[in-house]
Amino acid sequence: MRSRIIGTGSFLPERVLTNHDLERLVETSDQWIQERTGIRERRVAGSDEDCRALARRAAERALAAAQISGQEIDLVVVATCTPDHIFPSTASGLQRILGVRPGAPAFDVSAACSGFIYALGIADQFIRAGSAQRALVIGAETMTRILDWEDRGTCVLFGDGAGAAVLEATEQEEGILATRLHSDGRYESLLYVPWGPGQGFPALQERGGYIRMRGNEVFKVAVNTLARIAEESLEAAGVEQSEIDWLIPHQANVRIIQATAKRLNLPMSRVVLTVGEHGNTSAASVPIALDTAVRDGRVQRGQLLLLEAFGGGFTWGSALIRY
């Protein structure tokens, strides 16, 4: 028994913030941003769009693609590091809104940019163990709410959005072949937010609740780590690199993506690249890229997909999927 993806969906807020818009906020340029990140624009959630609202839109599209209703879901896992509330979880609110069966487990996962891969791996294990038959897995973020708009090293990178996938138990050969999840807290100081509710509001006023990042150090660790995690998943499934049809990576920086593809001997023509249109949407970036490639026809049934991500913590993970 394993899980297979039967539907995907994604959603981006309407408001577009271009590199030229950012030129009026901080000392930067469209050329500088594109050369170093590949980002041309990002989306910003409106005042009436919280994390749950974005997640709901992506989830509804994934359910529609799977041709099922929320009542047929028996597990909801939401990956986010920008939830609307400390509690209840974003997932429990979606459970009610989407009509998922009362009593079904619904919870959030916090693993920063690796969140969707973590959530996918958890849901896959639920299904493999027979604890769920159909799962809704979502990555949703409102990253612009934790940006310092005077810090050009971070405010040019991130955007808001959500992506989702519906998993179903199967005994067929297609599905999730292997997932691998890792973390290393020694790198916490390279990418973090220096405040949490447990520290109290005086600490918030003193430190600010904004992303802090040492970009060059993060880049170096990310490139080396992503290549290793990809190889680990391939080895676990007994698959050769040459068999990969599509690499669907975390959409953080085009240079990291290019370096990872090179290490895997994959041409960029076999890499799904969407970072230019929405920037780094953290846990939402992999499912947004997956849904984009499914809907535009690049990803076809039977193809082999390698999903991978790297995020604050540091966390990293990969999933090898026979779509």
Nearest-angstrom CA–CA distance, 57 and 18 = 23
Please identify which residue in the block is written with the tokens 């993970």: 317
Closest to 116 in 3D by CA, of 254, 240, 289: 289
Q: Which of 51, 81, 113, 155 is catalytic?
A: 113
319, 196 Cβ separation under 8 angstroms: no
User: Quick one: DSSP state of residue 280?
Assistant: B
Q: Which of 19, 81, 250, 253 is catalytic?
A: 250
Rounded to the nearest 10 degrees, the angle between the axes of helix 51-66 and helix 90-98 is 50
Q: Give the helix ranges, DSSP H, for the chain.
A: 19-22, 30-37, 51-66, 90-98, 115-128, 152-155, 201-207, 215-237, 254-263, 275-278, 285-295
Nearest-angstrom CA–CA distance, 51 and 139 = 10
113 annotated active-site: yes
Q: Give the helix ranges, DSSP H, for 67-200.
A: 90-98, 115-128, 152-155
252, 157 Cβ separation under 8 angstroms: yes
User: Quick one: DSSP state of residue 101?
Assistant: P
216 annotated active-site: no
85 annotated active-site: no
CA 117 centroid distance within chain: 7
Q: Which residues are catalytic?
A: 113, 250, 280
